[in-house]
Structure 1
Amino acid sequence: MAGVVGIEDLRRTGAFALQTLAVAGGYYAAGRLGLLRDMVVEGAVFTPIWPPTGVAVACLLILGLRAWPGIALGVLLVIVHLTTLRPDVLGNLAGNTVAPVCAYLLLRRVGFRTDLSRLRDGLALVFLGALTSMLISSTVGVGMLVVTDRLDTDSFWPVWLAWWVGDAMGVLIVTPLLLLLHGARRPLPMARWKEAVGLAAIACVVVPVATRDEASLLFLAYPLLIWAALRFRLVGSMLCALFTSVMATLAATDGIGPFDGLTSIDVMIKLQAFNGTMAMIALLLSAVVTEQRNTRRSVERACQELVEILEHLTAGDTPHTRPPGDTDERGDRPGPP
């Protein structure tokens, strides 16, 4: 018996180690992806969208608190890739680990559902998971830069804003997509696939023009986003928002299209405002559509059950409501009471 218990403990330890490495690898890969495009604000480098925060929050929502060691290891790997290990790095390590954990705890406290089928789930992810929790990582990260004299005190707020919005954008865009992939059960019907291909083809034409034309046509992306949310709900709207945000980020870092001739701070404000608006519209609108559809299905199911109950009751009352002239099963006329 002791040998069996030891084997089970060894298996659990091995599974936990593999899970930790998988989470760390996903975090590190997302970090390398986010570092492909960066911007400089007040001498500090930041990424407009920081995907690792979305990966971290999604892992915690799917796996629970046991995922935090993998997140901490992933943060450490990204830091080692960027710079050498110093005592002040521990602050960034703690801030980037605690922020997703705080997001997870806040979302669990309000009864967050990972299928994002209710408007309250979308609102919770926006205001608790992204905007509130990411205050920790941005404040700690920029604060460490000021404390170590790598950033002037006067530059705190612009860099802090860029850091905060970048971390929040990772949660708003990446977390819903990972949760959807985890909960995917069935493919789209064939008719929807045709419409999806048409939407993707139009987006591949309209979005590059909207993000690279000097006439500042960013608003052309909103009808596509609404179409995706109404017809394909969360998966369609978030994929559309992700594609549009990536294209806008590429244009902003290249300084072309609507971002041509702007200062670094103006580019950051315009880009983050557009990306944040896209992500919130996609998340909240699709949540409203999904909630309405689920409500309608619940009402239809309740009506169907009510009809079945009434049919059952009517069938049960038939023998007691026969006309006086009818005969019974033996062909005899009913006798006097």
Structure 2
Amino acid sequence: MGADLVLAASIVLTAHIGISIHQVSHLGSLVWAPTGISLAALTLWGTRLWPGVALGVVITVLTFGFSLPVALIVAGCNTLEAFLGALLLRRLGFRPAMGRVYDVVILLGVAIVTTLFATMLVTETLVAIGVIEPETAPTFRAIVSWGHLSAILLVSPVMFTHVARKQLRDLERPNSLEPIAMCICIAATIVVVFGGWLPDWLPGSNTPYYVLPVLLWTAVRFGPRYASLASLVTCGMALLYASLERGPFMTLTDLQSFIWLSSITTLTIAALAFDRLCAVRRRSAILHSALDAIVTTDEAGRLVELNPAAEQLFGLHEPDVLGKDLAPFVIPPGEDERHRSLRAYLHENDETIIGKRLRAQAMRSNGTQFPAEIAITRLVDQGEVLVVGFVRDRTPEVLAERALLRAQDDLERKVDERTALLVATNRELEDSETLMREAEELAQLGSFELDLRSRVAKFSYELYRILGRDPRAPQLTFQEAMELVEPGDRGRVRAVADHAVKQRSELGLQIRVMRADRSLRTLQVQGRVLVDDEGRPTRIVGCAQDVTDRVRAEEWSKRFFDLVESSEDAIIGFTLAGTIESWNAAAAKLFGLSASAAIGAPSTILVPENQARVLEDTIRRVAGGQRIAHHELVHRRQDGTEFDAWVTTSAIIDPEGHVVGISEVLRDLTPMKRVEQELRTSLREKDALLREVHHRVKNNLQVISSLLRLQVAAQPNEASKQSLLDSQSRIQSMALVHELLYQSKDFAHLEIG
């Protein structure tokens, strides 16, 4: 708010000053300063100050005796003019320092466009409301336009350059006596020219343009800030003298033309001088900050300029060699061709050295030589041909090249070594891969990787072989991999995998898979879940081993164990040293000794002391590969009772044919012995009874034979006698057969005569 009020006050004050000095209409002066102040203020401090512009113009117009509507119309047009001008200047890259001709041209162009637009708008509006007569409108428009343009060219540059003075301070000369002399000359010139003190014999003594040399001097020597100030003072004094009806201005047009030409010329020359001064300063800064030596000579080879890097490189002091032939100072002796005149050398070798890089030996002031890289260019400065050489010390580069060559040799040697090592490593890697594949094949172990993001399963070669699939086939998806699992195991696989992923833990399970040939294989799967840096699971990696044979062996082992455990015979396993290592339930029942107590005990606890040597000898012979026939051996129970046992001792042989243990099958003969004894007793009794029967049969047959003999003697008839004799013979035959049968030990076979 404070800035708006200050701006409004400035507009009111400068408007009244302008009207008081030179009023050309009721609403303007020859230089309408508020326009220049408004444009500069909105450009420098932002368009947000437009209320201050509007307020100042409204107050100014009201103080001139116009109505409020007229004041608002004029204020709106002037504010719009300043607002649009500020926007255009900012958009077009205008710099307030006005150190470029571009800035002067942009300011002039924006001033013309915005002024013509605003004056046309305000004129037409005032004509429409009857404030201005239509026939006076062109004159009013011209007067207002000239006043606004003059203010922008005189007042705005002063504000721009003084606000941006920090950018101009280093390039101006405010601390010398020259500014004082300039001020005196400007004042004297204004008094002489505008006061009519020029002598009549001087050509154009009635022209105001004799002040231009002083303005141009200010522009060239002091830059845009002082040039704009000098132009404002000069044109202001011209207005003052014109208002007093003095000076060389015959008409108002002469005064306006002078203001325009002097201000534009002064600002343009100041921008050119400032730009050239900046270029000189940049060139000087480049020369002094350049790392390479820069040597400038004329065509004759005489030194014109050395930069600090050249002084340091050659060990020379510029004042000592300035204007002298440079060749003896920088070219080593003995190189006659290079000692010739630089003019002749350049003339003869113009196409070979100008604009190209040369490599040669150079010399310092102390006589030491060094390798240098030289680039030579030729330029014309104010009609004088100059030769500029850029010299760079190549000593670090040469040393670096030598070091690089050594490094290259070392690198090539190391590359050869590493190549040989790499070849050997690749060979070892191939061998390792081959061994790994063979090991996996022997162990029937394959690896896998499940990508949880892409849902792709990767299998190793051996796992493909276990599954009966082609390793060159496309990778399987997770769903395709699950289809290889036996349907009854799929739910369990998903549950275990989901639990492992959720807990970020390891997993292990046994599954059945269907091979391509429709055969079932049992796999033991072990794996773990891998996570990324944020702890999110990304993959499941692990291995799968074909345990089909082991599972079958375990099943057969379990069946064999059940068979052994359910056997009624005692089955005992011994080590080759005779230590008990297996003990079935029948053995525990037979000996009254539990398996935990028996296993690990010596075999001699199973027999009486007098039979221990027999058992040890049997075990030793079987371990040595001998076959032992079934035999009986007395054994002893835990309670000390002895019993006869039918023993079968055999060797336990591994797949390689080695004896790894002894097995013994025992059957208690006590019940059998008891039955055998009973049978023997029964047989003895039956034998005695049979002998008695045989004896009685024999006696009976003898009695019958005797009776028949008596009957033969009593028979008178020969036929009857013969019949009785035949019967007697038959009876005797039967007695003989019975005797043979009685005396025979084998009733199944009987030999007769």
TM-score by length of structure 2 reads 0.37
Q: Which segments of 5 or more consecutive residues in structure 1 lack a partner in the other structure? A: 1-16, 323-337
Offset at residue 31 of structure 1 (A): 1.9
**Of the candidates 115, 121, 142, which is equivalent to residue 140 of structure 1?**
121
Query: Does the 8 Å CA contact 2:31/2:150 hold for their aligned counterparts?
Result: yes
**Of the candidates 30, 37, 44, which is equivalent to residue 62 of structure 1?**
44
Counterpart of 2:163? 182
- Give the structure with the larger strand fraction: 2
Mapping for residues 41-190 of structure 1, pairs under 5 Å: 46-128=28-110, 130-185=111-166, 186=169, 189=173
**Of the candidates 275, 278, 286, which is equivalent to residue 291 of structure 1?**
275
What amino acid is the match of 1:74? G
Counterpart of 1:270? 254
Q: Report the Cα distance in structure 2 between the residues aligned to 1:315 and 1:110, rounded to whole angstroms.
A: 50
What amino acid is the match of 1:179? F
Q: Report the Cα distance in structure 2 between the residues aligned to 1:89 and 1:39, rounded to whole angstroms.
A: 18
Query: Does the 8 Å CA contact 1:91/1:140 hold for their aligned counterparts?
Result: no
Superposed CA RMSD:
2.6
Query: Does the 8 Å CA contact 2:42/2:83 hold for their aligned counterparts?
Result: yes
Q: Report the Cα distance in structure 2 between the residues aligned to 1:172 and 1:97, rounded to whole angstroms.
A: 18
Q: Report the Cα distance in structure 2 between the residues aligned to 1:316 and 1:118, rounded to whole angstroms.
A: 43
Counterpart of 2:181? 198
**Of the candidates 225, 239, 244, which is equivalent to residue 235 of structure 1?**
225
Report the CA distance shift for 1:29/1:39 in structure 2 as closer, same or farther (over 3 A): closer
Query: Does the 8 Å CA contact 1:88/1:144 hold for their aligned counterparts?
Result: no
Q: Does 1:208 align with 2:191?
A: yes
Q: Report the Cα distance in structure 2 between the residues aligned to 1:255 and 1:229, rounded to whole angstroms.
A: 29
Offset at residue 313 of structure 1 (A): 6.5
Report the CA distance shift for 1:32/1:88 in structure 2 as closer, same or farther (over 3 A): closer
Counterpart of 1:221? 211
Offset at residue 45 of structure 1 (A): 5.7
Q: Report the Cα distance in structure 2 between the residues aligned to 1:151 and 1:84, rounded to whole angstroms.
A: 12
Counterpart of 1:14? none
Q: Does 1:254 align with 2:236?
A: no
Counterpart of 1:25? 9
Q: Report the Cα distance in structure 2 between the residues aligned to 1:273 and 1:184, rounded to whole angstroms.
A: 29
Q: Report the Cα distance in structure 2 between the residues aligned to 1:78 and 1:216, rounded to whole angstroms.
A: 37
Report the CA distance shift for 1:50/1:315 in structure 2 as closer, same or farther (over 3 A): farther
Q: Report the Cα distance in structure 2 between the residues aligned to 1:33 and 1:316, rounded to whole angstroms.
A: 71
Query: Does the 8 Å CA contact 2:8/2:53 hold for their aligned counterparts?
Result: yes
Q: Report the Cα distance in structure 2 between the residues aligned to 1:219 and 1:63, rounded to whole angstroms.
A: 36
Report the CA distance shift for 1:75/1:236 in structure 2 as closer, same or farther (over 3 A): same
Alpha-carbon displacement from aligned partner over 1:188-232 (angstroms, at most 9, x marks no partner): 656x53111111111111112212328423011111111011101
Calculate percent identity across the aligned residue pairs: 23
Report the CA distance shift for 1:194/1:39 in structure 2 as closer, same or farther (over 3 A): same
- Give the structure with the larger helix fraction: 1
What amino acid is the match of 1:242? L
What amino acid is the match of 2:206? S
Q: Report the Cα distance in structure 2 between the residues aligned to 1:79 and 1:197, rounded to whole angstroms.
A: 40
Offset at residue 305 of structure 1 (A): 3.6
Q: Report the Cα distance in structure 2 between the residues aligned to 1:77 and 1:45, rounded to whole angstroms.
A: 12
Q: Which segments of 5 or more consecutive residues in structure 2 lack a partner in the other structure? A: 198-204, 294-308, 314-391, 403-753
Q: Report the Cα distance in structure 2 between the residues aligned to 1:40 and 1:114, rounded to whole angstroms.
A: 30
Report the CA distance shift for 1:72/1:315 in structure 2 as closer, same or farther (over 3 A): farther
Query: Does the 8 Å CA contact 1:92/1:137 hold for their aligned counterparts?
Result: no
Alpha-carbon displacement from aligned partner over 1:99-138 (angstroms, at most 9, x marks no partner): 011111111121111111211111101111x221111332
Q: Report the Cα distance in structure 1 between the residues aligned to 2:230 and 2:57, rounded to whole angstroms.
A: 28
Q: Report the Cα distance in structure 2 between the residues aligned to 1:196 and 1:239, rounded to whole angstroms.
A: 12
Report the CA distance shift for 1:46/1:88 in structure 2 as closer, same or farther (over 3 A): closer
Offset at residue 314 of structure 1 (A): 5.0
Counterpart of 2:346? none
What amino acid is the match of 2:32? W
Q: Report the Cα distance in structure 1 between the residues aligned to 2:14 and 2:185, rounded to whole angstroms.
A: 28
Q: Report the Cα distance in structure 2 between the residues aligned to 1:257 and 1:127, rounded to whole angstroms.
A: 30
Alpha-carbon displacement from aligned partner over 1:239-266 (angstroms, at most 9, x marks no partner): 221121111111222222323xx5xxxx
Task: Return 146-155 or 49-58, whichever deviates more.
Answer: 146-155
What amino acid is the match of 1:38? H
SS at match of 1:112: coil
Q: Report the Cα distance in structure 1 between the residues aligned to 2:135 and 2:87, rounded to whole angstroms.
A: 33
Query: Does the 8 Å CA contact 1:100/1:134 hold for their aligned counterparts?
Result: no
Report the CA distance shift for 1:315/1:164 in structure 2 as closer, same or farther (over 3 A): farther
Offset at residue 318 of structure 1 (A): 7.4
What amino acid is the match of 2:156? T
What amino acid is the match of 1:194? L
Q: Report the Cα distance in structure 2 between the residues aligned to 1:157 and 1:34, rounded to whole angstroms.
A: 22
Offset at residue 144 of structure 1 (A): 3.8
What amino acid is the match of 2:17? L
Query: Does the 8 Å CA contact 1:126/1:172 hold for their aligned counterparts?
Result: yes
Q: Report the Cα distance in structure 2 between the residues aligned to 1:315 and 1:118, rounded to whole angstroms.
A: 43
SS at match of 1:193: coil
SS at match of 1:40: strand
SS at match of 2:68: coil
Q: Report the Cα distance in structure 2 between the residues aligned to 1:313 and 1:85, rounded to whole angstroms.
A: 81
What amino acid is the match of 1:275? I
Q: Report the Cα distance in structure 2 between the residues aligned to 1:212 and 1:149, rounded to whole angstroms.
A: 42
Offset at residue 147 of structure 1 (A): 2.9
Q: Report the Cα distance in structure 2 between the residues aligned to 1:189 and 1:40, rounded to whole angstroms.
A: 39
Q: Report the Cα distance in structure 2 between the residues aligned to 1:159 and 1:216, rounded to whole angstroms.
A: 29
Report the CA distance shift for 1:307/1:239 in structure 2 as closer, same or farther (over 3 A): same
| Equivalences, count | 296
Counterpart of 2:500? none
